[in-house]
Structure 1
Amino acid sequence: MKRKIFWSFLVILLISSTLIGFLSVNLVNRSYTNELEKRLLSNAQLIATMIRSDELDPASNSFQQAMKEMAEVGEVRITIIDSTGKVLTDTRSEAYKMDNHLDRPEVHVALVGKEQERIVRYSHTTDQEMLYVAFPVKLNNSVAYAVRLSMDLSEIEILTRNIVRYIAISTLFGLLIAILLGSKLIDKMIDSIKALVNMTKQISEGDYERRIYLTNDDELAELAEHFNHMADKLNRLITQLSESNSRFQALLASINNPIIAVDPKEKVTLMNVAAEKLFNVSLDDIKGHHLLEVIRNNELDELIKRSLKERTENQFEINLKVPEEKIFRVYTNLIYQEEDPIKVMGLVILIDDITEIRKLEKIRSEFVTNVTHELKTPLTSISGFVETLKSGEIEDEETQKRFLEIIEIETERLTRLINDILTLSEIENIKNKDSKSMFNPSRALKEVESMMRPMASVKGIEFYFEIPGKLSCIKGNEDRMKQMMINLIDNAIKYTPNGGKISFIIYERYGQLVLRVKDTGIGIPEKDIPRLFERFYRVDKARSKKMGGTGLGLAIVKHIVISMAGKIKVHSAGPGKGTEFVISLPLHQ
């Protein structure tokens, strides 16, 4: 930039100097020529007056001698021409040798009685450029002669060359001085401009604290001041925007529901962290892409298009595979421009995962159906036998007694079912209703062993119990833990044939209390293991009912394990090969 300014400045200076020199030379030439013209005309008029007043003969020797003396004094050439164009007198040449001058413009004009302005032309007689003026001499009201005076222009040429030389020298010195002063001025100006450029570059790169202060008192200093003022305002604005954006991003990130914003063409403009995790994408990768590239679902695409076209805010449910199938409730809300509330800038899509809610609703529905079915069976049986006994048709005392025993069995079964339902309901709300505390499980486990060993002995089942001498504490409800182990061992006793074997082993490993209940019973088919902990699910329904099972025992065990932040696993090699339940509970040492 410095080079451009320098050469531009130099070219302008040269052009200006050249124009000034040209105009000066032209002005001097014109002034000098005008002065010569006036002097020549004045002398011509004087000669014409002399001829008229003394009626001198221009061809006489005395007149010619007078003209030569006058020409030498005035350094001019004097020529007298008669009315026919014949040269009578000439101070620089022999008159008789000269051509007729009637065709000379200045002579022709003078002989017709007019005063001719100066004429400059080349003279073959003197072999140089000459300035000519001619004046008519009238005798008896007619032009008798023409007095022509001329002067060579060599002096003007010499003067012009001198002027050009002086102008060239002064221009050269002027250029040198201008270059020295201009270079310093340009350097100072360029330094200021570079400082401004550097400042704007650093601001563009994010350094909004950058400022510039110039010492010179000119427009650049004023510009720098305006830049500083602009940078202050920009810094405040960026800070405000950054804080606002940070709050917005924090708010957006804290929302657990996936949120996506699209423009009127369904191109993604915004997406929160929850949406990125749900669809396994990054906003940087998909920003500006069509929504279908993120959510590959034509049904959702059509619903969003409809919302944009009809300008309506909707909510609907939809199934998406992301990657597993889930149920979502989708809310669409239009985004309006702040300055123009009628103009739609896009759409905000809020996604609510209701898969678990729908599963719970299904489980609740199935639970109600199963409970109704399980309650209906004993109630129907009880109702039937009661009606029979009330009718009085059964007079046999043994039959009546057997009917009453059946009613009692069904009543006990109904009581167990209701108690299990209540227990399961309490465990599901254990966070709110059950108190948790630290306790050592040794005593509770030994009590379970004492309670269950006699039951195993009745069926001739070998009961193996192994527990370390000292166990670490765990957190939970001690009574619930006892109930959990009783349910598991009771199931093992029920489904293990006479003469079988049950082992109950407890140990600590990797910060976990491990409880293993293994039997040599009927086993569980592999296809039934995933559903084993569902409410009212039975592998062998007939056998389970015969043994008095409610179908809720293992569901209760699972919820107790969950309430204690533990895990439960089932291992079975198949029917007739026994089953093993493994429970892991975290220790609190």
Structure 2
Amino acid sequence: MKLTMILLLLILSLMAVVGAFLTTSVSSFYINTFYQQMDDVFGEGNPDFYPSLCREAAQENGPELIQDMLAANAGLLGIDYRTRNYYVLDGNGMFLSSSDEKLSGQPEITANILAAENGRVGDVSDISADYMDFAVPVCDPEDPSAVLNIVYILDNRSTVSELNSQLFLIIMQALLVGLLFSLLLSFLLSKAMVGPIEKLTAGAERMSDGDFGSPLPVESTDEIGVLTGTFNEMARVLQETLAAVENERNKLDTLFLHMTDGVTAFDHDGKLIHCNPAARNMLRRPMDQLTTYDQLFGELRPFGEMLSLQRPDYAEAEMRVEDRTLELYLAPFSDREQGGVLVVLHDVTEQHHNEERRKEFVANVSHELRTPLTNVRSYAETLLDANGDIPPETSASFLGIIINETDRMTNIVQDLLTLSRLDAGNAELTLTRFRFGDAIESVCRANDISARQHGHRLTCRLEPDLPLITADRSRLEQVMMNVIGNAIKYTPDGGHIDVTAGAADGQVWMEVSDDGIGIPEKDRDRVFDRFYRVDKARSRESGGTGLGLSIAREIVDRHNGRLYLTDHDGPGTTVRLELPVVPLKA
């Protein structure tokens, strides 16, 4: 529509300019022709005519003679007696005679008549006037300054008006035909030009909706065709780019969603714009778009201070959320005003616990080794300072104590080496196929004498036909020996130790129950920790290192089993061992 209107306006403007130019040109041509014709008659082109007028004017009947001469030369003057006539005036411009029979009075005094009254030829043209006139003073041959008569030629320009009207009609007809052709041509041109552009527009709209798989047909080799080809190439590159960006975004979203560290992002106003599930879990609170930085971390680091940091600078902080310790890394994620602050949260609770356990472990090892070393040194120094004054029985007793303390240190070191190999994964398991019940009966027989020494009654009740298992038999018997041995040691003399075993749901199990001192509720979660003892004094008296249950659990874990305390009715403790029947995977 715009192109059609532009072409129509162009045609209208062109025809208006052409019409005005033609009308003005015709009028100018007619005026110029009129004055050229007058000059040819009265001027140098006809040297005898004007002097003859002057001679005739000097005669007694001069006006009649002048009129006769003008009538005789009417053809040269273009007198048609309809639109153009001549007039004979006296020296003062008063009417005497005329070729216009309809005129009976004085003609209108014009500037040219006034010029002729003053002895000058009046040939000034006025294109805006509705007439053309020419006035020539007829002077006395004897006195050229004396104006006897004035010859006045007047054309009412009816011919020019009729010609202009006809010309206007022709122009309007041509304009109408031109407009019709312009409409047709503009429609065809607009279809040829706008059609491909409309297709490009439709393609761009499809692209805005995410459809990049419909290339536009290239129907020409001109600029529109080149543009269409370029558009198709742009759509292809944009589709590939968006696919790559989408792929990267999916990777980041997956990483962001499933990463163990918490991540929160805040905009330039401190409002929450992103938060992954790990952060919600660590902060132990619901979060939405109304959550702000100041609500979460304002007490640790001011938000303005974080925004003022220059990348790659960052800040660190630590906060407690209930029983968790969180380590925070805060940094701006953009240097522009529309940036914000990114906060990464790392749960260091376990690291802190491990650090505490490490310190406790070192302290326990130091304490466990220092006690026997102190005893060894004390008894050795006593033997050294006695210089043979100690009775042989006493010396032998001292040496026995030294040997026992040395064995105790050896056991501690051996247990520590075992734990170290288990932690490092260097303790290889020697897997064999054997009956679970045979291993339990073997361990019960080995502990029977120790139980009798304490007056205990050790019973072993096994379900019939316990299945074969694949495991390291010596390691599992070490576990069983530790559990049954603890029951014997920590049960007062005359107690009962019951060993039961069975199989269910693809597992074998063994329970060791006693009616001994038991384990307080507050200590149940820590009995498998290294060097942990419920009754430290009694444990040392019994020769324990505090590592037996830790080693036992490590061995069971290596077998994909479980070793734990179960509920127990009455005084005492029940320890349960569970192992899978299926072979361990390599």
Which band: TM-score by shorter chain? 0.7 to 0.9
- What is the match of residue 197 of structure 2? 193
Does the CA-based 8 Å contact 1:522-1:577 persist in structure 2?
A: yes
Q: Helix, strand or coil for the counterpart of 1:39?
A: helix
Q: 1:312 to 1:214 in 2, by over 3 A?
A: closer
Q: Residue 488 of structure 2 is aligned with which of 493, 516, 520? A: 493
Q: Helix, strand or coil for the counterpart of 1:432?
A: coil
Q: 1:317 to 1:409 in 2, by over 3 A?
A: farther
- What is the match of residue 471 of structure 1? 467
Q: 1:180 to 1:579 in 2, by over 3 A?
A: same
**Structure 1 range deviating more: 497-506 or 523-532:** 497-506
Structure 2 residue runs without a partner (length 5+): none
Q: 1:448 to 1:295 in 2, by over 3 A?
A: farther
- What is the match of residue 443 of structure 1? 438
Tell me whether 1:588 sits opposite 2:582 in the alignment: yes
**What does the per-residue CA deviation read over 1:98-153, in whole Å, with 9 as the maximum and x for residues that have no partner?**
3486x532211112122223556999xxxxx4322111222231222211111222
Q: Helix, strand or coil for the counterpart of 2:131?
A: strand
Q: Which amino acid aligns with 1:376?
A: R
Q: Which amino acid aligns with 2:53?
A: I
**What does the per-residue CA deviation read over 1:397-445, in whole Å, with 9 as the maximum and x for residues that have no partner?**
665565455445444444433333333333333x223135363434323
How do 1:254-265 and structure 2 match up within 5 A? Answer: none
Q: 1:117 to 1:276 in 2, by over 3 A?
A: farther
Q: Helix, strand or coil for the counterpart of 1:539?
A: coil
Q: Which amino acid aligns with 1:8?
A: I
Q: 1:33 to 1:276 in 2, by over 3 A?
A: farther
Q: Helix, strand or coil for the counterpart of 1:168?
A: helix
Q: 1:565 to 1:321 in 2, by over 3 A?
A: farther
Q: Distance in 1 between matches of 2:166 and 2:396?
A: 157
Q: Which amino acid aligns with 1:437?
A: L
Q: 1:121 to 1:386 in 2, by over 3 A?
A: closer
Q: Distance in 2 between matches of 1:216 and 1:424?
A: 81
Q: Distance in 1 between matches of 2:92 and 2:329?
A: 121
Q: Residue 381 of structure 1 is aligned with which of 356, 372, 375? A: 375
Q: 1:141 to 1:60 in 2, by over 3 A?
A: closer
- What is the match of residue 457 of structure 2? 461
Tell me whether 1:171 sits opposite 2:175 in the alignment: yes
Q: Helix, strand or coil for the counterpart of 1:533?
A: coil
Q: Distance in 2 between matches of 1:351 and 1:444?
A: 49
Q: Distance in 2 between matches of 1:319 and 1:421?
A: 34
Q: 1:144 to 1:215 in 2, by over 3 A?
A: farther
**Structure 1 range deviating more: 494-503 or 174-183:** 494-503
Does the CA-based 8 Å contact 1:331-1:349 persist in structure 2?
A: yes
Q: 1:280 to 1:408 in 2, by over 3 A?
A: closer
- What is the match of residue 141 of structure 1? 144
Q: 1:573 to 1:294 in 2, by over 3 A?
A: same
Residue 175 of structure 1 deviates from its aligned partner by 1.0
How do 1:107-506 and structure 2 match up within 5 A? Answer: 107-119=113-125, 129-139=130-140, 140-142=143-145, 143-202=147-206, 211-212=215-216, 214-227=218-231, 238=241, 298=300, 308=309, 319-321=318-320, 325-326=324-325, 359-390=353-384, 391=386, 399=394, 402-403=397-398, 406-429=401-424, 431-435=425-429, 437=431, 439-440=433-434, 441-458=436-453, 459-471=455-467, 473-474=469-470, 476-506=471-501
Q: Residue 9 of structure 2 is aligned with which of 8, 11, 14? A: 11
Q: Residue 105 of structure 1 is aligned with which of 83, 103, 111? A: 111
Q: Distance in 1 between matches of 2:364 and 2:305?
A: 38
Q: Which amino acid aligns with 1:77?
A: N
**What does the per-residue CA deviation read over 1:71-120, in whole Å, with 9 as the maximum and x for residues that have no partner?**
6953321111111222121222588x63486x532211112122223556
Q: Distance in 2 between matches of 1:370 and 1:439?
A: 38
Q: 1:538 to 1:233 in 2, by over 3 A?
A: closer
- What is the match of residue 341 of structure 1? none
Residue 358 of structure 1 deviates from its aligned partner by 5.4
Q: 1:362 to 1:227 in 2, by over 3 A?
A: same
Q: Distance in 2 between matches of 1:302 and 1:81?
A: 105
Q: 1:493 to 1:66 in 2, by over 3 A?
A: same
Does the CA-based 8 Å contact 1:67-1:91 persist in structure 2?
A: no
- What is the match of residue 573 of structure 2? 579
Q: Helix, strand or coil for the counterpart of 1:384?
A: helix
Q: 1:217 to 1:323 in 2, by over 3 A?
A: farther
Residue 159 of structure 1 deviates from its aligned partner by 1.4
Give aligned-pair identity as a percent. 26
Structure 1 residue runs without a partner (length 5+): 124-128, 338-344
**Structure 1 range deviating more: 14-23 or 579-588:** 579-588
Residue 327 of structure 1 deviates from its aligned partner by 6.7
Residue 522 of structure 1 deviates from its aligned partner by 1.6
Q: Which amino acid aligns with 1:194?
A: E
Q: Which amino acid aligns with 2:161?
A: E
Count the aligned residue pairs.
561
**What does the per-residue CA deviation read over 1:521-572, in whole Å, with 9 as the maximum and x for residues that have no partner?**
2221111112212222211122222322222222122222222233333245
Q: 1:31 to 1:545 in 2, by over 3 A?
A: same
Residue 8 of structure 1 deviates from its aligned partner by 2.4
Q: Which amino acid aligns with 2:519?
A: I
Q: Helix, strand or coil for the counterpart of 2:169?
A: helix
Residue 515 of structure 1 deviates from its aligned partner by 3.0
Q: Distance in 2 between matches of 1:216 and 1:536?
A: 88
Q: Distance in 2 between matches of 1:415 and 1:357?
A: 31
Residue 42 of structure 1 deviates from its aligned partner by 4.4
* Structure-2-length-normalised TM-score: 0.77
Q: Distance in 1 between matches of 2:127 and 2:331?
A: 98
Residue 200 of structure 1 deviates from its aligned partner by 4.3
**How well do the aligned residues superpose, as a CA RMSD in angstroms?**
4.9
**Structure 1 range deviating more: 168-177 or 29-38:** 29-38
Residue 192 of structure 1 deviates from its aligned partner by 1.4
Does the CA-based 8 Å contact 1:279-1:295 persist in structure 2?
A: no
Does the CA-based 8 Å contact 1:58-1:64 persist in structure 2?
A: no
Does the CA-based 8 Å contact 2:491-2:515 persist in structure 1?
A: yes
